[in-house]
């Protein structure tokens, strides 16, 4: 009875219970005043209770029916929405079995074999299923190109409610195909309409113009302007001549691929303007699309132009997505006659040395006599300014074996050569770090030192590569120079402080020039002989220098064996392999490459050596073939006539094949 009453009261809503309570209180008051009304009051109260229960139950039933009708309506609407979906929709199982397709899906892909796209998509999705612990309610988002349209595929995993618990859990996938073709077109149009900023400069303009007669200059300038304007007119860009030798060019990015395919034909057209014998104009071009504004793009193009000029000019570079792509650069570097820059750099270097606490000098890994000779020259300049200076040398290579024997006899240099470990312990923010004969951050003797000081000077003669030292305070990089030793000799000559080179220092600088010019036969200009003459006056003993380059009989036999086994490709290129694994393989390869060039009809030579974990390549040329461009494609660098590279992750035969591919690529680019 109590349970029944409890159920009755539970089915009555709270507000009705309050009303019943008030009625009960009133009836009790009436019964107290008039006891005759007790029985009628009880009867009335039970009648009210019965009616209230009936009315409340009927009301709940009506609400339930209304909710049921509403649910059926929603289910019907959902089913109708799926069937008549405005975008393609498909439901399938993870094994590829299609459960259902919407009408839009069928009509949209009626003329396309959609199964191949679905299968590829399922393979990708299955790999994701295996990685997920909770597959339910997880979104799937993919970008898919179907025919000429682009779709964003959005979907969810749905539990298939497999009743057989022994079987693996199966999942269904609902995929919605949202057509984003118009969005893609808008994105492409937005990207294509963005501007690219280009800087163009005529190389050595002042010096070349001085070689012409006054009446010839206006005509030549007009020809150069016409050539550049005609080339830029193909891309509907805006060209502004900002100076006598400088042009600013803006064009839309949609034309960038066209310019790449053209391979900057204007470079060759400018070189065809030759008013006199031995006078040739060349052009340097830097293109950039990096930056949110045109101002930022201009700054990026300026940085790219520094690289082009650092590589000798006569070439173009495109900076895109933080990557440099080079075009051209096959002409020989032109020697600069003016020495104004050498004077300015010498003065700036002196001030930096004076402000430093000490000076540390380092060259490249596996240093040669050019690197060591340049270091010796900078050491003497620092000592002349009363600063402590040290040369970082951690390698005992055969290359410098004879030189170091002579150096060991000089007491002054006993504590000058230090290891990179000692250098790292003693470097501080006030230390001046001078880097010679390289500008690559990954190729210096101790890369760790680059982060320990902000005072860095770079002196180099190699063509600039993309991984140059960006934080250098002062850079003296002249690719026309024969060697770093030549540049250092000029700095010493034009220093305000009087620098007196010792015989050992003068001979090491002379040896550096002598080595890189192959006894003054390659890449030798007027300034090279002037530097050599200055060093000769400082007391150079040529016979002693000559002895530093002498090889033992065993090394000579190795070189002879390499030359004997050389293979000729493309009629004039020699490729040889030195397979024996040894520490000084790079030195043997370099000497063998030099020796191969002494053979008639050989215009370029490449010798591959085994360094154990790497394959080294030494490239040499008489100037007809640019070995620097070829080896740069393999991660190396250098000059037109002398370059090198080190390759990792490939066997000797694979490296040789890759080198031959790059050689063929080089010739195909020339032909096109």
Give the span between the Cα atoms of 401 and 549, in whole angstroms.
10
Please give the average per-residue pLDDT across 543-570, as a whole number: 85
| Residue pLDDT, tens place only, 228-285 | 999 988 888 899 998 888 999 999 998 988 888 888 888 888 888 877 766 778 889 9
State the pLDDT at residue 59. Answer: 66
**Whether the Cβ atoms of residue 276 and residue 211 lie closer than 8 Å to each other:** yes
Give the span between the Cα atoms of 296 and 313, in whole angstroms.
23
Q: Tell me: pLDDT of 374 over 90.
A: yes
Counting Cβ atoms within 10 Å, is residue 137 exposed (0-12), middle (13-18) or buried (19+)?
A: exposed
Residues near 137 by beta carbon (within 8 Å), at least 6 away in sequence:
156, 157
Q: Which of 131-140, 275-284, 322-331 has the lowest mean pLDDT?
A: 131-140
Query: Quick one: angle between helices 526-537 and 503-516, nearest 10?
Result: 160
Band (pLDDT 50/70/90 cuts) for residue 574 is: very high
| Residue pLDDT, tens place only, 460-469 | 988 777 778 8
Among 302, 305, 301, 307, CA closest to 288 = 301
Q: What is the mean pLDDT of the chain?
A: 81
Q: Which residue has the higher pLDDT, 534 or 10?
A: 534
Please give the average per-residue pLDDT across 407-419, as a whole number: 86
Helix-then-strand count for the chain, H and E: 23, 23
Provide, rounded to the nearest whole percent, the portion of the chain with pLDDT above 90.
18
State the pLDDT at residue 313. Answer: 77
Q: Which segments within 114-221 are labelled E, that is strand? A: 139-146, 149-159, 171-179, 195-202
SS (H, E, C) 214-241: CCCHHHHHHHHHHHHHHHHHHHCCEEEE
Beta pairing class for 283-288 and 358-362: unpaired
Q: Tell me: pLDDT of 349 over 60.
A: yes
Please give the average per-residue pLDDT across 557-561, as a whole number: 89
| Residue pLDDT, tens place only, 53-111 | 777 777 656 655 655 554 555 455 556 666 667 778 887 777 777 777 777 888 888 77
Provide, rounded to the nearest whole percent, the portion of the chain with pLDDT above 70.
86
Give the span between the Cα atoms of 324 and 285, in whole angstroms.
12
| Residue pLDDT, tens place only, 170-203 | 667 778 888 888 888 888 888 888 899 999 999 8
Give the span between the Cα atoms of 310 and 315, in whole angstroms.
11
Beta pairing class for 614-621 and 604-610: antiparallel
State the pLDDT at residue 329. Answer: 66
| Residue pLDDT, tens place only, 495-526 | 888 999 999 999 999 999 998 887 887 778 88
| Residue pLDDT, tens place only, 198-232 | 999 998 788 788 778 888 888 888 999 999 999 98
Please give the average per-residue pLDDT across 404-412, as a whole number: 85
Residues near 24 by beta carbon (within 8 Å), at least 6 away in sequence:
45
State the pLDDT at residue 217. Answer: 86
**Whether the Cβ atoms of residue 461 and residue 487 lie closer than 8 Å to each other:** yes
The residue behind tokens 């929603």 is 74
Residue 161 CB coordination number (10 Å): 8
State the pLDDT at residue 359. Answer: 94
Please give the average per-residue pLDDT across 576-590, as a whole number: 83
Q: Tell me: pLDDT of 30 over 90.
A: no
State the pLDDT at residue 552. Answer: 73
**Whether the Cβ atoms of residue 197 and residue 287 lie closer than 8 Å to each other:** yes
Residue 116 CB coordination number (10 Å): 10
């Amino acid at each position: 009875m109590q349970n029944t009453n409890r159920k009755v009261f539970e089915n009555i809503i709270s507000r009705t219970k309050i009303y019943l309570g008030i009625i009960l209180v009133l009836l009790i008051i009436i019964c107290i005043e008039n006891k005759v009304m007790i029985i009628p009051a009880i009867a009335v109260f039970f009648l009210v209770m019965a009616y209230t229960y009936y009315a409340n139950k009927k009301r709940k039933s009506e609400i339930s029916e209304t909710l049921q009708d509403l649910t059926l309506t929603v289910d019907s609407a959902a089913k109708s929405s799926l069937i008549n979906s405005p975008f393609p929709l498909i439901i399938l199982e993870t094994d590829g079995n299609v459960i259902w397709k919407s009408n839009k899906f069928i009509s949209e892909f009626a003329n396309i074999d959609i199964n191949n796209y679905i299968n590829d998509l399922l393979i990708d999705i299955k790999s994701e299923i295996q990685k997920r612990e909770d597959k339910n309610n997880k979104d799937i988002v993919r970008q898919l190109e179907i025919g000429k349209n682009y779709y964003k595929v959005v979907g969810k995993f749905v539990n298939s409610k497999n009743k057989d618990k022994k079987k693996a859990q199966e999942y269904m996938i609902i995929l919605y195909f949202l057509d984003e073709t118009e969005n893609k077109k808008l994105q492409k149009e937005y990207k294509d309409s963005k501007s690219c900023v280009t800087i163009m400069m005529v190389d050595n303009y002042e010096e070349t113009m001085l070689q012409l007669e006054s009446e010839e200059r206006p005509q030549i300038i007009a020809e150069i302007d016409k050539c550049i304007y005609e080339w830029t007119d193909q891309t509907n860009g805006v060209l502004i001549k900002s100076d006598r030798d400088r042009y600013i060019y803006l064009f839309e990015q949609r034309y960038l691929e066209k310019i790449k395919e053209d391979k900057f034909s204007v470079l060759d057209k400018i070189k065809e303007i030759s008013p006199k014998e031995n006078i040739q104009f060349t052009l340097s071009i830097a293109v950039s699309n990096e930056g949110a504004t045109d101002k930022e793009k201009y700054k990026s193009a300026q940085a790219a132009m520094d690289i082009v000029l650092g590589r000798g000019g006569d070439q173009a570079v495109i900076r895109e997505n933080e990557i440099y792509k080079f075009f051209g650069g096959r002409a020989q570097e032109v020697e600069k006659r003016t020495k104004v820059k050498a004077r300015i750099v010498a003065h700036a270097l002196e001030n930096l040395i004076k402000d430093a606490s000490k000076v540390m000098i380092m060259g490249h890994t596996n240093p040669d006599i050019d690197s060591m000779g340049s270091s010796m020259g900078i050491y003497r300049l620092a000592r002349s300014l009363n600063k402590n200076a040290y040369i970082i040398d951690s390698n005992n290579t055969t290359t410098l074996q004879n030189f170091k024997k002579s150096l060991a006899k000089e007491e002054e240099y006993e504590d000058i050569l230090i290891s990179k470990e000692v250098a790292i312990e003693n470097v501080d923010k006030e230390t001046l770090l001078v880097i010679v004969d390289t500008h690559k951050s990954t190729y210096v003797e101790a890369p760790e030192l680059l982060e320990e000081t902000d005072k860095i000077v770079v002196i180099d003669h190699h063509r600039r590569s993309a991984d140059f030292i960006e934080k250098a305070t002062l850079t003296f990089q002249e690719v026309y120079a024969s060697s770093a030793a030549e540049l250092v000799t000029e700095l010493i000559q034009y220093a305000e402080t009087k620098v007196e080179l010792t015989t050992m220092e003068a001979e090491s600088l002379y040896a550096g020039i002598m080595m890189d010019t192959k006894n003054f036969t390659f890449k030798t200009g007027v300034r090279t002989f002037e530097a050599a003459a200055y060093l000769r006056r400082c007391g150079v003993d040529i016979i002693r220098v000559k002895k530093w380059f002498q090889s033992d009989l065993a090394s000579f036999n190795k070189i002879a064996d390499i030359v004997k086994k050389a293979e000729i490709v493309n009629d004039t290129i020699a490729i040889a392999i030195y397979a024996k694994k040894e520490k000084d393989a790079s030195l043997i390869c370099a000497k063998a490459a030099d020796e191969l060039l002494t053979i008639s009809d050989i215009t370029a030579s490449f010798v591959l050596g085994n360094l154990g974990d790497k394959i080294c390549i030494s490239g040499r040329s008489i100037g007809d073939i640019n070995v620097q461009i070829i080896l740069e494609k393999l991660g190396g660098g250098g000059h037109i006539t002398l370059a090198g590279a080190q390759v990792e992750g490939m066997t000797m035969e694979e490296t040789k094949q890759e080198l031959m591919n790059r050689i063929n690529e080089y010739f195909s680019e020339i032909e096109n």
